[in-house]
Amino acid sequence: MNDTRPVKSDSAKAVPTLPDAQTVTSVRHWTDRLFSFRVTRPRSLRFRSGEFVMIGLMGDTGKPLLRAYSIASPAWDEELEFYSIKVPDGPLTSRLQHIRPGDQIILRPKPVGTLVLDALLPGKRLWLFATGTGIAPFASLMRDPDTYERYDEVIMMHTCRDLAELDYGRELVEGLPDDPLIGEIVAGKLRYYPTTTREQSPFMGRITDNLRTGKVFADLGLPPMSPETDRGMVCGSLQFNKDIMAILETFGLREGANSEPREYVVEKAFVG
């Protein structure tokens, strides 16, 4: 007699063995310090673009080794994308950098964070300020139609030491106009201002210096930031965040939060 039992599909075979397991679907290495990867998305996971979750691997002691990671993909994407540093002796990333498609990671489905549109008052222009992997939450926000519904113009300033470290953001921004889902919405509204600080490139200098001197306003043909029209989101090292907050305050912008929306919001790209 023929066996009429249903044949299990490949996905049915991939039984999660980790708590909150998600499966890696693709990995791309950008430099020897940076990589991005995509994982399956828990069906129940809802998040606001710009938020972060805890992800990780099982530690040697049998306890999950988790770190905060900004979700780099937009809320409408059926997978989740992350953009990561590789810290040579970092407890998590010394191992995470070796993941391959089909591997599993742990993802705690509790998104939180301050870099959300709801924490800002309405305005005309939205400035996104990032150093290094701090571009990750903005990779999500730049792909969210809501960002362009709320603002006439979005300006992405990203600074890294070297040109190769800008590639993830550059490829994303350059591909957006051709995106079948949001290309039309983004067209003409997203301005991109990448700079390097160590390697020679057409645009150089720290974000803070380019704001203080007014170079970025002159280059983009925009007036200096003002609390009436401009909003800011900041994501970088602790010192970068402190320095840029001081500058934004001189323009008259005040820090906001989910509970009290104002003119700018800040989040650390890493601790330390």
Positions that interact with ligand FAD (CB under 6 A):
52, 67-70, 82-85, 87, 90-94, 132-133, 136, 267-272
The entry of ligand NAP, ligand FAD, none near residue 164 (CB within 5 to 8 angstroms by kind) is: none
DSSP classification of residue 163:
G
Residue 88 or 122 having the CB closest to ligand FAD: 88
Output phi, psi for 167, to 5 deg. Answer: -60, -40
- In angstroms, rounded to a whole number, what is the distance separating the alpha carbons of residues 61 and 7? 37
Q: Do residues 107 and 12 touch, judged by C-beta distance below 8 A? A: no
- In angstroms, rounded to a whole number, what is the distance separating the alpha carbons of residues 271 and 87? 13
Residue 23 or 201 having the CB closest to ligand NAP: 201
**160 lies in the site for ligand NAP, by CB under 6 A:** yes
- Residue 65 tokens read as 């080794």
Contacts of 221 (CB under 8 A, 6+ apart): none
Q: Do residues 193 and 155 touch, judged by C-beta distance below 8 A? A: yes
CB of 263 to ligand NAP, least distance (A): 20
**237 lies in the site for ligand NAP, by CB under 6 A:** yes
Q: Which of 75, 80, 207, 233 binds ligand NAP (CB under 6 A)?
A: 207
- Total binding residues for ligand NAP by CB under 6 A? 15
**240 lies in the site for ligand NAP, by CB under 6 A:** yes
- In angstroms, rounded to a whole number, what is the distance separating the alpha carbons of residues 28 and 12? 26
The entry of ligand FAD, ligand NAP, none near residue 267 (CB within 5 to 8 angstroms by kind) is: ligand FAD
Positions that interact with ligand NAP (CB under 6 A): 33, 131-132, 159-161, 197-198, 206-208, 237, 239-240, 243
